[in-house]
Each structure stands twice: as C-alpha cells, then as structure tokens.
Amino acid sequence: MKNRMNGARTTSFLFLATAVGVLFSGFYGVNKAHAATNTATPQEIVIATAADPRPFTYFDKDQQLTGYDIEVARKVFSQLPQYHVSFTATEFTSIVAGLDADRFQVGANNFAENPQRKEKYIFSQPIFENQFVIATNARNSNIHSFHDLLGKTSEVNPGVNFTTALEKYNTRNQDNPVKLQYTESELLLILQNVESGKTDFQLIDKSMLEQYINEYHLKLNIIPLSKEDSSLIGSPFSYFLIAKSKSGEKLVSDINAQLKKLTADGTLSAISNKYFNGDYVPK
C-alpha cells in the first residue's frame, strides 16, 4: 500500500487493522496457551551397552553402534516420541553400576534374568530366546554335559549368567570345581582359546556360537545342553534391563507395548533373521 493516503482512508485502515490485530492476538494467545499445556519436553533416556558380544551389540566397520539389541531398541523408541534416546558404550559391569546411579535408564546387552538382577532392576518382556550350548575344540571327546565340566578350565566374564551358573555349581562341587579364569577379553579371543586348547570349553548361546563359527571359521564343537542342564543356567530368554523406579515402571510399560506390536507385525523376526539367520523372537 502506498505511503501517501488521505486522512479518511488512513483512519479507516487503522481502525480495521487494530480490530483484526486484537482478534488474531486473542486466537494466538489461546493457541499458545493450549500448546504450552500439551507440549512436554521429551524425557532423556540413555541406553548403555558394552558393544559386545556380537551380533547382539557391536561396532560395525564404520564404527557405528549396531546389533540385534541395538536395532530393536531403536525400533521401540522410534514410536515413543515422549522419550529422547541416546546410546553409550561402556564396560559390561559399568552398565548395572550406571543403572544404579541413574546415569543410564536402560541396559541393552543380551541380559539374562537372575535373582540378583531381578531384585534391583525391571526386566522388559523377553526380546530373544536362547539355546544354551557348550563350545569345545574339535578334538574334544570327554565333554558332553554340565557334569563333565568339573575339573575343566574356562575363561569367564564377571557377572554374566553363565559365570554365575558355574560359580554356583562350584559351591556344590568344591572337591573338583570348574577352573574359572576371569577375563574382560572379547568373545572372539575366548573362543579362539577354546579352539587352540588353551581352555577346555565355553558356555554360550547357540545362535551366537554359530555366528562366530561361520564368520571366523572356528573349528569348534557345538554340544546342546539338556533341559535339566539348561535350568542350571537359568531362563533361556534375554531382556532389556531398566532402572527400578517410578519412572522406570512407566518406561518399561511403554517399551513392552511397543515390543508387543513389533512382535505381532513381524518386525522383530525380520531383525532376528538379519543378525542370526533365524527367528529367535519369543512367541
């Protein structure tokens, strides 16, 4: 509109502009107030992992965090906009310490259930169904069951379900215990030591062992455990671990709702087939 206008038109325009401005400012004020009451800042969620064992969690060739647990977590939280998620890699034992201190809210590392963890943390619904086996070198002829492990050597990571099971087994067999060599080494080195005969065996998930044998051409036997022997290790399932708190209860409820949907629509099965060439999703 031109700057030079006669007085009458200017007065009329100003009156109209003022009226419209008041009207829109009223709507804007209502909408702004409505938005303020309906927009909440997303809750920060830190998911901790040790980036091992592969293929549950690891860094790929581009140093990007990936794996079955990681991809499932990303799918879950992609449908939960009320949370802002980040991942952090740390030592395995530091995951639970971080959950205790509320530095982390979720642990994603092929976590199995045991009584000690159940007292302190909340478990999601199971995301993976394991089959426990014994890995031995190709020359083995004397290990066929859990009882045969007595007197034999194995490298173990502190705090994992297999280690806990062997420690408990030793308390009942103190005259000839399993010889446990505690280590923080990665699984590949541990399995290579079994292959070479430096150690006698490794308790492990079947799906994981098959992955390592195929990828690294390891000469190892796969000895399935009986149902009775498997019960010495515990539940065959793995879970996300959540800090036990009031907010943790709401968080696990939201996670479980999404896991149920992702199981029903086949998304989790597709992720399992991607990483394990098989469907290990609990049904």
Structure-token pair, residue 111:
């976590």
pLDDT surpasses 90 at 146: yes
Give residue 39's pLDDT.
61
Average model confidence (pLDDT) for the chain?
Answer: 88
What type of residue is 36?
A: A
Residue 24, classified by CB atoms within 10 Å of its CB into exposed (0-12), middle (13-18) or buried (19+), is exposed
In this prediction, residues 219-240 reach a mean pLDDT of 94
Contact 234, 51 (CB under 8 A): no
Ordered domains of the chain (ranges, CATH): 43-129+236-276 (3.40.190.10), 132-233 (3.40.190.10)
Handedness of CA 100, 106, 111, 113 (dihedral sign): positive
Give residue 76's pLDDT.
98
- Residues 229 and 116: their CA atoms lie apart, in Å, by 20
Q: Give the confidence band of 40 by pLDDT, cuts at 50, 70, 90.
A: confident
Looking at per-residue pLDDT, the higher value among 246 and 137 belongs to 137
At residue 56's C-alpha, the angle toward residues 167 and 207, to 5°, is: 75
Contact 278, 272 (CB under 8 A): yes
Model confidence pLDDT, tens digit, residues 4-33: 444 444 444 443 444 444 433 443 343 444
- Scored b (16 or more CB within 10 A) or e, 46-85 reads bbbbbbbbbbbbbeeeeeebbbbbbbbbbbbbeebeebeb
Strand partners, 133: 204, 224
With a CB cutoff of 8 Å and minimum separation 6, the contacts of 57 are: 49, 50, 51, 65, 66, 67, 68, 69, 70, 108, 109, 110
pLDDT surpasses 80 at 181: yes
In this prediction, residues 161-176 reach a mean pLDDT of 96
Give residue 15's pLDDT.
39
Contact 59, 51 (CB under 8 A): yes
CA dihedral 93, 98, 99, 101 (to 10 degrees): 130
- Residues 150 and 173: their CA atoms lie apart, in Å, by 8
Q: Give the confidence band of 193 by pLDDT, cuts at 50, 70, 90.
A: very high
Read off the pTM. 0.74
Give residue 234's pLDDT.
87
Q: Give the confidence band of 185 by pLDDT, cuts at 50, 70, 90.
A: very high
Give residue 217's pLDDT.
97
pLDDT surpasses 90 at 250: yes
In this prediction, residues 255-275 reach a mean pLDDT of 97
- Residues 168 and 105: their CA atoms lie apart, in Å, by 29
Contact 205, 130 (CB under 8 A): yes
- Longest CA–CA separation in the chain, Å: 110
Q: Give the confidence band of 115 by pLDDT, cuts at 50, 70, 90.
A: confident
Structure-token pair, residue 62:
């581009």
Q: Say whether the peptide bond before residue 53 is cis (omega within 30 degrees of 0).
A: yes
